[in-house]
Amino acid sequence: MFKESTPKRVRFNVPDGPPGSSTSKASVNSEADSAGQTERSYQSCEAGETGEASVEKDGDNDKTPTGPLYMYPSFDDVENIEYYRPGGYHPVRIGDRIGGRYRIIHKLGYGGFRTVWLARDTEKQRYVALKITLADFSKDAMEKDLNILKHLAEHVERPGGSFVEIPIEDFWITGPNGKHLCIVSEVAGPSIAHLTRTYNSKIEPQDARRMALQITQCLAFLHSGKVGVAHGDLTTSNVLLELGNLDSLPQDKLLEILGEPVREQVRPYTDKALGPSAPDFLYHSAAMTRLSNFFTGNIIVIDFGNSFFLDKPPAGLSKPPAQFCSPELIVQKQKSRPSDVWALACTIFEVRAEIPLFESFIFGDEDVLESMIGTLGPLPEQCLPYLEKEGYNWLKDVEGDGEELGDMVDHIKGILEDEKIALCDLLRQALRYDVEERLTADEVLRHPWFSFQLQVGAKEGGSGYDHVLSA
Question: Do the strands 114-121 and 102-110 form a parallel or antiparallel pair, or are they unpaired?
Answer: antiparallel
CA atoms within 13 A on the CB side of 115: 29
| pLDDT beyond 70 at 283 | yes
Tens digit of each residue's pLDDT (9 = 90 or more) over 378-398: 888 888 888 878 777 788 778
More confident residue, 30 or 471: 471
| pLDDT beyond 50 at 183 | yes
Tens digit of each residue's pLDDT (9 = 90 or more) over 209-218: 999 999 999 9
Contact predicate 128/121, CB 8 Å: yes
Count other Cβ atoms within 10 Å, centred on residue 227. Answer: 20
Which residues on neighbouring strands pair with residue 230, listed in sequence order? 308
Q: What is the pTM of this model?
A: 0.81
Tens digit of each residue's pLDDT (9 = 90 or more) over 298-327: 999 998 888 999 998 877 667 789 999 999
Q: Which H/E stretch holds residue 202?
A: strand 202-203
One-letter identity of residue 125: Q
For residues 273-295, give the mean pLDDT: 94
| pLDDT beyond 60 at 79 | yes
Check residue 319 and give its pLDDT.
79
Tens digit of each residue's pLDDT (9 = 90 or more) over 424-435: 999 999 999 999
Rounded CA-CA distance 157/238 in Å is 21
Contact predicate 194/201, CB 8 Å: yes
Count other Cβ atoms within 10 Å, centred on residue 317. Answer: 19
Which residues on neighbouring strands pair with residue 364, listed in sequence order? none
